[in-house]
Amino acid sequence: MLEDIEKILKSNYIFNNIVLVSKPKIIKVSLKLDMAIIWIDIWDAQSGSKAKGLINQRFNVGSFITTIYGTNMNPEVPQCKNCWKWGHSASVCRIQGAKCIKCNSPHQTTHHCEFVWYCKANDKINLPRLETKKGKPCPHIFRCLNCKGEHQVDLMDCPF
């Protein structure tokens, strides 16, 4: 998906003299909406003349019209270290305590294997489950709270 966005940007004439400093960042507005915000960081002069020339420009992406808006430097959207959702920091989070980045249960990530049932031994089932040894990484597949992908919620490459 990032490659597609880069191709669209490079193929549009308004980006002819623009050099991207890093890969575009895609942030979905919501899982239920088909809208996203794409952050681009460009190489520019100290005066910001290239960025100023892009602001309020419109261009087509398929059948959609997009508008370029300016923002402050380093517009990183914070990810809360309590609940792991995007858009706010832990200092203003509404939940009490912390959630695990692996399973999203109410415990600290360092205590993951001690608290979740699938990391504890169980010899009463058909295929006995062995305990995840202390200090060893959890071998189970995780689901991201944000995109529902098979990775930890703090993965930098998460498409959400």
Most confident option among 4-13, 107-116, 125-134, 136-145: 4-13
Q: Higher model confidence: residue 119 or residue 50?
A: 50
Q: Is residue 116 classed as helix, strand or coil in its secondary structure?
A: coil
Residue 43 and residue 35 in contact, taking contact as beta carbons nearer than 8 Å: no
Q: What is the pLDDT of residue 15?
A: 86
pLDDT digits (tens, 9 = 90+) for 60-103: 887 888 888 876 555 556 778 888 887 777 888 888 888 888 88
Question: Residues 62, 65, 67, CA angle at the centre, nearest 5°?
Answer: 130
Of the pLDDT bands very low, low, confident and very high (cuts 50, 70, 90), residue 46 is low
Q: Is residue 76 classed as helix, strand or coil in its secondary structure?
A: coil
Of the pLDDT bands very low, low, confident and very high (cuts 50, 70, 90), residue 111 is confident
Is the model's pTM score more than 0.85?
Answer: no
Q: What is the pLDDT of residue 23?
A: 79
| Distance between CA atoms of residues 102 and 97, nearest Å | 16
Count the Cβ atoms, other than its own, within 10 Å of residue 112: 20
| Distance between CA atoms of residues 33 and 159, nearest Å | 14
| Distance between CA atoms of residues 26 and 71, nearest Å | 15
Segments making up each domain of the chain, as ranges: 2-67, 78-155
